[in-house]
Structure 1
Amino acid sequence: MQFIDLQAQYQHLKARIDKRIHDVLDHGQYIMGPEVFELEEKLAEYVGVKHAITCANGTDALTLCMMVLDVKPGDAVFCPTFTFFATAEAIAFAGATPVFVDSDEDTFNICPKDLEKRIEHTLNEGKLNLKAIIAVDLFGLPANYPELERIAKKYNLKLIEDAAQGFGGSINGQRAGSFGDIATTSFFPAKPLGCYGDGGAVFTNNDEYAELLRSYRVHGKGTDKYDNVRIGVNSRLDTIQAAILLEKLEEFPNELESRNRLAKKYNHELQDIHHTPATPEGYISSWAQYTLVSEDRDEQMTEYREKGIPTMVYYHTCMHQQTAFSDLNYSDYDFPVASNLSKKVFSLPMHPYLR
Structure 2
Amino acid sequence: MGELAEDLFLRLSPELVEEVFFRLPPDEPACLVHASAVCKPWRRILADLGFRRRYYKFHGTPPVLGLFQQGDWLFREGARFVRTSALFPAQRDRPCWFAMDCRHGRALLASLGTTCHLMVLDSVTGHQRLVVSPCNRPVSFSAAVLCAAQGCDHHGCQGGHFRLAVVTTYQQHRVTSGWLYSSETRLWSELTSVHHPNVRCPYNLGAPSVLVGDALYFNVGGIVECQLGALRLSMLEKPVDGNGRLSMSHNPIDGIGTLMVKEDGRLGFAAVVDVTNLTLWLCETGPVGAIGWAKLRVIDLNLRRCSQHVNSALALGGRSVHALAITGVAEGTQIIFVRAHVGSYMVDLKSGRVRPVDAYGRKFFPYASFCIPAMEAGCTGQGQ
TM range (shorter): under 0.3
Higher share in helix = 1
Larger RCO, structures 1/2 (Cα 8 Å, 6+ apart):
1
**TM, length-normalised to structure 2:** 0.23
